[in-house]
Amino acid sequence: MAAGRPALPRDENKKALWSWALYDWANSAFFTIILTFIFAQYFTQGVIQDDVAGTRAWGNIVGISGIVVALLAPILGAIADQHGRRKPWLIICTLLCVLGSAMLWFVEPGSGDLWFTAFWVGIAILGAECAFIFYNAMLPDLASPQRLGRWSGWAWGLGYVGGVTCLVVALYGFIDGNTDWLGLDRDAMEHVRATFVMVALWYLVFSLPAFFWIPDQPGRGLSAAQAIRSGLGQLRDSLRKARELGHILRFLVARMLYTDGLATIFTFGGVYAAGTFGMDQTGVLQFAIALNITSGLGALAFAWVDDALGGRNTVLLSLIGLGTSALAILLVESVMWFWIWGLVLGIFVGPLQSASRSYMARIVPPDLQTQMFGLFAFSGKATAFAGPLLVGWVTVATGSQRWGMATILGFLVIGFLIMLTVPHAASIRPGNHRGEHA
């Protein structure tokens, strides 16, 4: 495809696109409150009541859940491609996460209740991550090719705004707020546990526009059993054609590594801030709010950069900024410099995630969209166990969270080097890409 701006091939349904983008706002509550800042810290310090043992246990829970998602994602994507419709899958997966989040209310402080916690966190992660397979696969059908980067970036930015808003409500409405009118027992940490129920309600309510207003693909008239058999056959056929899809596979390997590093940063962000810099829950949440603001601004600002420079270049630029700031965070000693470099790191988080999605949307074969986004989800989870487990093991072996977190840099560097071998979308043979500039 030639450079420049060809005429748009179709009109964009703005109502559907903004409903699609709002789903990022809805989904962000789970990743912000449960996986990163509030529940992760509550689990390590309130439930397990030991920073090192809690860090290891949390790493095991998130890592094993990632393995399950990695195994299921490409299979579900292939089945959905054969079935045709995506929205029912999106709704079911969303409801799984809503249920799992709500059940975390019953995880009481000091209980050491590892198995109950692991089960419901696992269910919630499975729902949230698998929902994103079908959500991401909707983007190429909704946005015009020349605006894929913008819509992907705007959605990520909206997600970070949602994360900030949710954190503000959690911090000032529950954790530091007056909850007497709710009758919450602060000694039993009910004011903290109530935020997990809030996540469930938040996710459900703000997902409704996507459920109602995003048009779905027509079904193909296959029964569930036929769709499963056909989907598995399609997946086997795609794997046999791996050489033809080599550019996609290289990108997915690169993303597998740098996403593992990024996810591990966020999984242990609150734990690291509390354990190494002595930040209390209020301090961690204040930092989380500021981090989400810079991440949202970065995603919004780089949305135009993505369309101008292409997803590949945006990913590489983001990895340079992310790796530099992550290294600085590991070296600094003062809370002030932790804040400064943490906020710089946030600027590059959103563009990395958004540009990865838009690049995939441009290069994916149209008849394999959901399956390829299933593999996209697989790439985000195939080694998801490695980062958290490695951080946990090294932290225990050295007795230092800094050394544990330092393992993250390896994932970012190797992912960057592989990404250098990935072609621009415009250099891929016609018909398999959607308008990225060289």
Q: Could you tell me if residue 189 is left (phi over 0), alpha (psi between -120 and 50 degrees) or otherwise beta? A: left
Residue 438 falls inside a structural domain = no
Closest CA to 5 of 307, 377, 419, 415: 307
Residue 331 falls inside a structural domain = yes
Helix (H) or strand (E) holding 282: helix 281-309
Six token digits for residue 108: 């009481």
Residue 262 falls inside a structural domain = yes
CA 63 to chain centre: 14
Dist CA 371 CA 230 (whole Å): 12
Six token digits for residue 276: 């190494």
Domains: count for the chain: 1
Residue 45 falls inside a structural domain = yes
Six token digits for residue 30: 């789970």
Q: For residue 4, how many other CB atoms are within 10 A of its CB? A: 8
Dist CA 199 CA 365 (whole Å): 35
DSSP state string for 344-355: HHHHHHHHHHHH
Residue 8 falls inside a structural domain = no
Burial class (CB in 10 A: 0-12, 13-18, 19+), 113: middle
Dist CA 28 CA 132 (whole Å): 11
Which domain covers residue 30, as residue numbers? 14-427
| Domain harbouring 232, CATH code | 1.20.1250.20
DSSP 106: G
Note whether 209 and 173 are within 8 A (CB). no
The upper half-sphere exposure of residue 250, i.e. CA atoms within 13 Å in the direction of its Cβ, equals 17
Taking each continuous run of H as one helix and of E as one strand, the counts in the chain are 17, 0
The upper half-sphere exposure of residue 389, i.e. CA atoms within 13 Å in the direction of its Cβ, equals 11
Closest CA to 39 of 131, 136, 117: 117
Note whether 148 and 362 are within 8 A (CB). yes
Closest CA to 163 of 255, 42, 257, 299: 299
Residue 222 falls inside a structural domain = yes
Dist CA 333 CA 55 (whole Å): 21
Closest CA to 97 of 27, 40, 41: 27
pLDDT of residue 383: 67
From first to last of the 438 residues of the chain, give the pLDDT tens digit.
Answer: 333 333 344 567 889 999 999 999 999 999 889 987 789 888 988 888 887 788 788 878 887 887 888 788 778 877 777 766 789 899 999 999 999 999 999 999 987 788 999 999 999 999 998 898 889 888 888 888 778 888 888 888 888 888 889 988 998 899 888 877 788 888 899 999 999 999 999 999 999 999 999 998 776 666 667 777 776 776 677 666 556 677 888 898 899 889 888 878 876 777 777 777 778 777 877 887 788 788 888 888 888 888 888 889 999 999 999 999 989 988 888 888 989 998 999 899 889 988 998 888 888 877 677 777 777 777 766 666 677 778 878 888 888 778 888 888 889 999 999 999 988 876 664 444 444 544
Contacts of 414 (CB under 8 A, 6+ apart): 257
Q: For residue 293, how many other CB atoms are within 10 A of its CB? A: 17
The upper half-sphere exposure of residue 363, i.e. CA atoms within 13 Å in the direction of its Cβ, equals 29
* Amino acid identity at 182: L
Closest CA to 374 of 78, 6, 37: 78
pLDDT of residue 357: 87
pTM: 0.75
The upper half-sphere exposure of residue 378, i.e. CA atoms within 13 Å in the direction of its Cβ, equals 20
Distance between the two ends of the chain, CA-based, in angstroms? 10
CA 47 to chain centre: 25
Q: Could you tell me if residue 385 is left (phi over 0), alpha (psi between -120 and 50 degrees) or otherwise beta? A: alpha
Note whether 426 and 310 are within 8 A (CB). yes
Dist CA 283 CA 98 (whole Å): 27
Contacts of 94 (CB under 8 A, 6+ apart): 127, 131, 203, 204, 207
Residue 215 falls inside a structural domain = yes
Residue with tokens 């086997």: 236
Six token digits for residue 72: 């299921």
Residue 30 falls inside a structural domain = yes
Dist CA 151 CA 17 (whole Å): 8
Dist CA 128 CA 21 (whole Å): 15
